[in-house]
Chains A and B, each alone.
Chain A
Amino acid sequence: MYTTELDKTATAPTPIGGEDPALIAAFEARVAADEFIEPKDWMPEAYRRTLTRQISQHAHSEIVGMLPEGNWLTRAPSLKRKAILLAKIQDEGGHGLYLYCAAETLGTSREQMIDALHSGRAKYSTIFNYPTLNWADIGAIGWLVDGAAIMNQVPLQRTSYGPYARAMVRVCKEESFHQRQGFDIMLAMANGSPAQKAMAQDALNRWWWPSLMMFGPSDDNSPNTAQSIRWRIKRETNDELRQKFVDATVPQAELLGLTIPDPALKWNEERGHYDFGEIEWDEFYAVVRGEGPTAKERMKARRAAWNDGAWVRAAADAHEAKRAARSAAAAA
């Protein structure tokens, strides 16, 4: 997901030597009692590092996530759809900003994070390294990708780090519009001409498995989950969230009259959940490693946006410097 550990080489959050055991115990007790940790509170260094990585990765995902959808802004089928998509993409930019601010309270600067993203050191959700081939993809993204994001983000409203939790409350308020506008696109196409319905089915075929992969590796292959759950950084495991998403989405696909591309998908009366097929993890890790042309295109677009905007930032700085010099002269 936006927040799962994508970097398999990332160091597990082991306790850092030299920390006062009494402070650690007091911290653990506060977290276990569901108290929120705030920026100036003492926290273990490993907690700070894990959170910094998770929140900044989440922020990067929001920002890079604007690119696949932005690709279709100028080709939206109507003015209404264009206005809606524009508003949705602007929200995602806002989500990135809320999250960068939350990460900054942990002591990392915005500049460091942007630099980590643009130099390719930072990870973002693999889902945005798939291309958006046609308009139906915009429907599938809103419905499935934002739908998966909601599953992940709702429990994070109660994550133990206060600034992150508050950012998530704000994000969640805005997300359901994203999913609904996507579903609305799918609905229009599924009820349209046979060709339009075929496009909707094709988009579902291509986005289904990547959406399931958004929740990250399965629990027995996710070594840091236990620690993150204990620290209330995560509230539910990858597999729990993935199951919730499948259970919620299958009836929606039926309503659309579309078929989920998984022959193993079947309601399991005993479990009270849908069973579903194996995920191709090799593909997932290839995408995480940034292989494939789309990943390169994404970073190229990000760097271009940053560099092309440099003159605006420089002008704003120059304006402020001039204004400050003037008021200093007036005060002298």
Chain B
Amino acid sequence: MSKDWPLWEVFVRARGGLDHRHVGSVHAPDAEMALRHARDTYTRRMEGVSLWVVKSTDIAASDPDQSGELFEPAQSKIYRHPTFYELPDAVKHM
């Protein structure tokens, strides 16, 4: 078994008004240390104003082998996009 500290995924909000975005991961024994490591590793040049860390094992992910079936239904529903509709030329802005 590995004696490595658990892996944490790191998310950074670049500035107010933006989503937190995944930037990478760090090893740390606990959340507080994970935040410190994330700060040193991913925000040395003012890359962010807020940090999230979450244990990698706590993330549930979809299976890439199933992604065909999982996302296919959306592909056939092109009427969900505005470009599906043909408008008379007279309609300028809609």
CA distance A203 to B26 in the complex (A): 37
Cβ of B44 and Cβ of A91 under 8 Å apart?
A: yes
Partner of B3, one of A42, A101, A111, A170: A111
A248 within 8 A of B: no
Question: Smallest CB–CB gap between A173 and chain B, Å?
Answer: 8
Closest residue of A by beta carbon distance from B2: A109
**Count the B residues whose beta carbon is within 8 Å of the partner chain — how many?**
21
| Chain B residue contacts of A101, Cβ below 8 A | 7, 24-26
By a CB distance below 8 angstroms, the chain A residues around B44 are 87, 90-91, 94
Residues 9-38 of B, flagged 1 when their CB comes within 8 A of A and 0 if not, give: 000000000000001111101100100000
Contact mask for chain A residues 87-116; partner B; CB cutoff 8 A; 1 contact, 0 none: 100110010011001001000011110000
Q: Are A323 and B30 in contact (CB under 8 A)?
A: yes
Q: How far is the CB of A161 from chain B (nearest CB, A)?
A: 14
Contact status B4-A97, CB under 8 Å = no
Residues 56-85 (chain B) with a chain A CB within 8 angstroms: 61, 63-65
Assess the A316–B33 pair: CB atoms within 8 A: yes
Find out whether the CB atom of A111 lies under 8 angstroms from the CB atom of B4: yes
In Å, the complex CA distance between A260 and B12 comes to 44
Q: Is the Cβ of A111 less than 8 Å from the Cβ of B2?
A: yes
Q: Which residue of A lies closest to B25 (CB)?
A: A101
In the assembled complex, the CB of B10 is this many whole angstroms from the nearest CB of chain A, namely 10
Identify the A interface with B (CB < 8 A): 38, 40-42, 87, 90-91, 94, 97-98, 101, 104, 109-112, 166-167, 170, 174, 313, 316-317, 319-320, 323
The 4 closest A-B pairs by CB, nearest first: A320-B29, A109-B2, A316-B29, A320-B30
